[in-house]
Amino acid sequence: MLRSGKQYLDSLDDGRVIYIGDEQVENPATHPAFRDMARIYAQLYDLKQAPGNVDLMSYEEDGERYSTSFLKPRNQADLEKRTAAHRFITEWSYGLLGRSPDATASNVTGIAMKPDVLEENEGGYADHLAALWQDLRKNDVFLTYAIVPPPAARNPEYYQSKGIPSPTLKVTKEDDAGVYISGMKFLATGAAVANEVIVGNILPLADDQAAESITCIIPFNLPGLSLWARKPFARDVKHEFEAPLSFRYDESDCMLLFKDVHVPWEKVIVHNNAPLSRDIFVKSASHVLSNHQSNCRFHSKMRFITGIASLITQATGAHGIPAVRETLAKLAAMEAAFGAIIDAQIYAHEKITDEYVLYARRYMYAGLLWAAENHSMLLDTVRELMGGGVFQFPASIDIVNDPELKSTFETYWATASDSSAERMKLFSLAWDLVGSPAASRMQSYEKFFVGPLFSVRNYNYINAPWDEFDGLVKDLMDQYDVPGQGT
């Protein structure tokens, strides 16, 4: 069932505990730090239902309509539909929403496509996952994920040497109804405005860390769970005009703190199996299906970055200079190549079970690594094209409230093609992409959201056909002899 924006906004008033510093948030849908972000997601829920979009953004099964992000792809057409639905959202949000609801819906759908990973292992609860997936799909739930231990907790000796317990999340006891969990998970993007969270482990655990392998899907209002938000950006923005991206897309990142939280068994997917807690993501379709969405998002962002670069050079008057055109050409070439990486994932898709197909894994991981390694370079290119232009503008557009200042501003800051306010609007937007606190957070997001870079490189390594690569070279070398040793 698709739900409306209003239903989504109402669902956020669920009694969850969120702290911004020492302030406790009553309802994220109305709090100034989160309400504009929530409004954007609400718009998205309404857009999905709109008559012109509903066919793409949903699919029918047994007389009911569900979001396309829950579609288990059986053929290339299904993959194409999923990609088009992701692209609809990523283009609409200019690639600036890291955690749109389709991302994590894909994550759970990918696990549900290969239940054998859970079925074949002790501590795996395939039946729970199947029921949870049905429920999430039926209610079109907005999920996020927290699947990394807190920084430093990856090295238990570090804590033991200081005589303090590691803060990482683990099961402390269990009863007939479920498990009790305590500790922290790092770092749930979108948590303030999502409905539920997948708690788990994308980094490998040692065998003696079985208690940390707990993987569950839970709402944010479980007693004992609190969300500790990082500093928000949106509420510091006085005029959307001055920082439109901070204003609209401050999706929030929260530490999750669990103190004796009781999780009912039916919400538990993995318990007491260290390798399985990671395998359910990387050995199922989950990692690929969800990060195909990340690739689509990054591509939309590249298109947006390229547009900003182009408009900025028009505003500075440098657009026609050959060296500047070459820089723009390189951006356009990279954007085109990245788009092709996404299309290639569809055309080279893999059959993963008798029933289901999946995007080409290697191409997805190649896109993921390229994006993480090159996002900063793309932003730096825009920064260079901007020169110091952004710093020419007054501290606030409030100057227009003073007729004399307004007149001076309109006279001196204008160019032949653009008014002073139009130029300030463009440069403020560009700065919010490359230089503001929100931009800086986004830079860290692109480097780390999927896990540390060394692990993304590792996915590329372990999925590469080394025998084929080596074979090519050996094949050529077999065609000629070492002098003095040939037959």
Ligand X SMILES: Cc1cc2nc3c(=O)[nH]c(=O)nc-3n(C[C@H](O)[C@H](O)[C@H](O)COP(=O)(O)OP(=O)(O)OC[C@H]3O[C@@H](n4cnc5c(N)ncnc54)[C@H](O)[C@@H]3O)c2cc1C
Q: Note the residues at the interface with ligand X (CB under 6 A).
A: 144-148, 151, 186-189, 253, 441, 444-445, 448-449, 451-454
Is the CB of 298 or the CB of 449 nearer to ligand X? 449
Least CB distance from residue 154 to ligand X, whole Å? 6
The pair of three-digit structure tokens given for residue 164, joined into one six-digit string: 């303090």
Least CB distance from residue 356 to ligand X, whole Å? 25
Is the CB of 331 or the CB of 439 nearer to ligand X? 439
Is the CB of 186 or the CB of 338 nearer to ligand X? 186
Least CB distance from residue 448 to ligand X, whole Å? 4
Is the CB of 216 or the CB of 309 nearer to ligand X? 216
Is the CB of 151 or the CB of 322 nearer to ligand X? 151
Least CB distance from residue 104 to ligand X, whole Å? 9
Dihedral (C-alpha) 23, 217, 83, 365: value to the nearest 10 degrees? Answer: 90
Is the CB of 115 or the CB of 149 nearer to ligand X? 149
Least CB distance from residue 345 to ligand X, whole Å? 22
Least CB distance from residue 149 to ligand X, whole Å? 8
Least CB distance from residue 181 to ligand X, whole Å? 16
Is the CB of 49 or the CB of 376 nearer to ligand X? 376
Is the CB of 242 or the CB of 253 nearer to ligand X? 253
Least CB distance from residue 451 to ligand X, whole Å? 4
